[in-house]
Amino acid sequence: MSILFLDLKASYFELKDELDAAYYRVMNSGWYILGEEVEAFEAEFALYCESKHCIGVGNGLEALHLILRAMGIGQGDEVIVPSNTYIASWLAVSYTGAIPVPVEPDENTYNIDPALIEGAITPRTKAILAVHLYGQPADMDRINEVAQKHGLKVIEDSAQAHGSRYKGRRAGNLGDAAGFSFYPGKNLGAFGDGGAITTDDEVLAARIRMLRNYGSSVKYHNDEKGYNSRLDELQAAMLRVKLKHLDKWNERRKHLAELYYKGLSELDVVVPSVPAWADPVWHLYVVRHNNRDELQKHLTKVGVNTLIHYPIPPHLQPAYREFNISNDAFPLAARISSQILSLPMGSHISEVDINSVSDAISSFARNWHAS
Ligand SMILES: *Cc1c(COP(=O)(O)O)cnc(C)c1O
């Protein structure tokens, strides 16, 4: 048995004719940066996210950074972030000169616990950066309520949540602005790096548009010290093709998640729990086991590829040693990171393979209890 964690070639072969045509269209156009393809993709993705504006940028990390910069967040400010997210959520804050302030997740959803946010707010707090981790939306009404009470901005890290819904509303339209990544492995992935920002705020959108292009809205006139962070025409053309298939692919992931649930919910692994108001897009299917390392070894031995998202929380990374955060300061993030395991998930995995993974976990559980 050999079950890939994710098959990145599958979407190319599924849509080869359309993607090749898009490639030739851009190559023949002679226009490769900020042109018709990016403009069209921005309009289509804004519509998809039920958001007024979309700005294509270089990648997901820069999307988050540009939002924070455009909001005027910087040196001396604090931004609340989850303690158990991918390090990019923290880096975006650090790039502005502001301090990321971690808050622990809810143990069942892995998303930031709204009840703990208020305790982390200080006079320097400017924003809450909520992450829709693994494709499941964070509890945005409660987060927005705390933000409103304290006059804070709310940013969604939607890098894992293209298409997911919270109480019927799309990720990307649940706060003041959202950052998306089109890294190849995301639910909507390019064939290289890419990212986008969605927002209903026209002034913010205009400022981000300027910042992504050297701080310039009229060529060679620079109002601010901006950046070079642009989605390119080729990636935009590829994304336009793939966007039309995203809902279908997300439905497929949902079906596979249901199969996993059927196969695993009676075993001694903790399966993901989905609140009634959440419609997740299953970027990752993450289970928990108190002997995770042995389980992962067993699965590797029988040919099932798994990954860990993420093995070390940001506050315990050498990159953040300057904060001197002790090992037990965020025990939930630390414990979760030692127990989680991401199982193969993607729109191109077969039902047979999902059932084989469940069987392999079941056989591990039996041996585990017997020994
Ligand atoms: C992928 C990811 C990012 C960063 O996106 P890039 O395009 O790789 O820069 C940020 N936050 C989260 C939660 C991610 O999963």
Residue 369 corresponds to which amino acid? Answer: H
Cβ 59 under 6 angstroms from ligand 1: yes
What integer pLDDT is reported at residue 365 of this predicted model? 74
Cβ 195 under 6 angstroms from ligand 1: yes
| Full pLDDT tens readout for the chain, 371 residues | 899 999 999 999 999 999 999 999 999 999 999 999 999 999 999 999 999 999 999 999 999 999 999 999 999 999 999 999 999 999 999 999 999 999 999 999 999 999 999 999 999 999 999 999 999 999 999 999 999 999 999 999 999 999 999 999 999 999 999 999 999 999 999 999 999 999 999 999 999 999 999 999 888 899 999 999 999 999 999 999 999 999 999 999 999 999 999 999 999 999 999 999 999 999 999 999 999 999 999 999 999 999 999 999 999 999 999 999 998 999 999 999 999 999 999 998 999 999 999 999 999 977 766 55
Residue nearest to atom 6 of ligand 1 (CA): 60
What integer pLDDT is reported at residue 185 of this predicted model? 97
For ligand 1, the distance from its centroid to the CA atom of residue 15, given in whole angstroms, is: 25
Position in ligand 1 atom list of the atom nearest CA 133: 13
Beta bridge partners of 277: none
Position in ligand 1 atom list of the atom nearest CA 88: 10
For ligand 1, the distance from its centroid to the CA atom of residue 86, given in whole angstroms, is: 7
Cβ 160 under 6 angstroms from ligand 1: yes
pTM: 0.97
Determine the residue of 6, 65, 86, 308 to mutate for testing ligand 1's pocket, defined as the one with the most ligand atoms within 8 A of the Cβ atom: 86
For ligand 1, the distance from its centroid to the CA atom of residue 89, given in whole angstroms, is: 7
Cβ 60 under 6 angstroms from ligand 1: yes
For ligand 1, the distance from its centroid to the CA atom of residue 62, given in whole angstroms, is: 9
Cβ 320 under 6 angstroms from ligand 1: no
What integer pLDDT is reported at residue 327 of this predicted model? 87
